[in-house]
Chains A and B, each alone.
Chain A
Amino acid sequence: MKAITVFANPKKFEALSQCIAPIAFWTFLVLSAIGLFFALFQSPADYQQGDSVRIMYVHVPAAWLSQFAFVFIAMMSLVAYVWRHPVADIVARSAAMPGAVFTALTIFTGAVWGKPTWGAPWVWDPRLTSVLILLFIYIGYIAVWRSIADTERAARFARLVALVGVINVPIIKFSVDWWNSLHQPASIIRADGPAMHASMLTPLVLMWLAYTAFFVWSVLTGARSLLLFNQVERRSRHAPRTAKITAFNAEASS
């Protein structure tokens, strides 16, 4: 509940983000540097895939974040819908762009990795296909925010699209899984099997933490600039008019 009250109060949120955003940014820089060092020099090459397996350290954490960001958007949308907390809408909105970037990065690195591994940059694998559709849902979500100037109104539809999307993505994933099991034998080598050596796990976890820090920084700075924009807009508004009741008798005056 405590976390929720932060979303109710723009001032508290602003103070919090001012304190956390720089920490998150530096965490991202440091951890990604260390993570990449481990990924490139301290982890073994795969006996089948060779050095191309190192793409995994950029690809897998991005895939995690792309899904996490959407679940986060949906949760914030639910908070905004149920408790009418204005900051929750803004946080959800500013998570969309980094989420979409992670999704695009997942697809791009997947294609780069897929070329040597599968022999083709794109296969209609359930994971890839549902990630691609996730990217389309992100684009739609961002387009909804941009298509309506009235943010109050835009927020109502953005929440709806986010919640429908979060129900939809698992259904699509399940469907493509089924589709594949019906008509294509599973022949794809997966790098993330259960038996993963510690030398591979370390850079993976480091990169995941770095991406998460980037996500936190990106959401906080995005939300802050949106809040600032709202404040500027509010200053340019007219003061509300006061309503006064007057007992007016039409017959007496005429």
Chain B
Amino acid sequence: MEPFPVKYGLHASGLAGQRGGAPVYEGATFDLEPGDALQVRGPNGAGKSTLLMNLAGLVPPSDGRSSWRVENQETAETPREAISFMAHRSALEPALTVREHVSFWCAHYRNPNLIENQSAWIQAVNLNGYDDTPAGRLSAGQQRRLDLIRLMIADRPIWILDEPTAFVDAAGARHVEQQIERQKQRGGLTIVATHDRLDIDSPELTIG
């Protein structure tokens, strides 16, 4: 387990967001160092997803500011090439099989040394035996697990995860927690919006 070569930090102060023109959350203030994780919690509609979109620079916040640090240097840009984003929907193509997804991601994220390890990745998320099953025929929880392989293949230091354990069973949730712990130990940064409290060593940002 090698640490990430570049370390990232994130600072947010008084961040507020809106969805469809209506304000949803306000006053999000926190500071994350390399190796930190943050759980964003709150009821449905509290603006957890909106906060993640604001932090990822996809939607501008309505107030406050957030800034990324690269090796302790503040940058105005969002370090996109370092981010893995897991949306609340699993970004899968229903017609393509599990194995096709894995090889597509290996090519997309340019991780050639992983191409031989495809089966290992599929096994790691407990999808063995489903290699040739189209993603559309997997259950919602299995689709979530498949989307998790994407993060491992991308191998990026910043994780922004929206409900990674939704529909996922207890063993799957534990696997997510393990992966986040591993990310922390490597000096990565994790921000995870979650409905169920995850058993990880992290502060919580509660909206509501």
Contact = CB atoms under 8 A, between A and B. Distances in A.
B205 A240 contact: no
A48 interface: no
B25 A240 contact: yes
A240 B203 contact: no
A246 B208 CA distance: 13
Interface string B24-51: 1111111000000001001000110001
A241 B21 contact: no
A243 B51 contact: yes
A153 B16 contact: no
A245 B30 contact: yes
A153 B42 CA distance: 25
B206 A244 contact: yes
Interface residues of A, number: 22
B199 A243 contact: no
The SS class assigned to the B binding surface is strand
Given A245-B29, A250-B199, A240 B23 contact: yes
A243 B21 CA distance: 19
Interface in A235-254: 237-251, 254
A151 interface: yes
B30 A241 contact: no
Given A150-B21, A152-B20, A250-B199, A243 B26 contact: yes
Contact of A250 (B26, B42, B202): B202
Given A150-B21, A151-B21, A153-B20, A241 B26 contact: yes
A246 B47 contact: no
Contacts of B207: 241-244
Given A248-B202, A254-B199, A243 B27 contact: yes
A238 B208 CA distance: 12
Nearest to A251: B201
B131 interface: no
Contacts of B208: 241-242
A243 B191 CA distance: 14
Given A150-B20, A237-B23, A243 B205 contact: yes
B76 interface: no
Contacts of B197: 250
Contacts of B42: 241, 243
Nearest to A236: B22
Interface of B: 15-16, 18, 20-30, 39, 42, 46-47, 51, 197-208
- The 4 A-B pairs with the shortest beta carbon distances in the complex, nearest first, are A240-B23, A243-B28, A150-B20, A240-B26
13 contacts: A241-B25, A242-B27, A242-B208, A243-B26, A243-B27, A243-B42, A245-B204, A246-B203, A246-B205, A247-B203, A248-B203, A250-B198, A250-B202
Given A240-B24, A250-B202, 4 more contacts: A240-B47, A241-B47, A243-B15, A244-B205
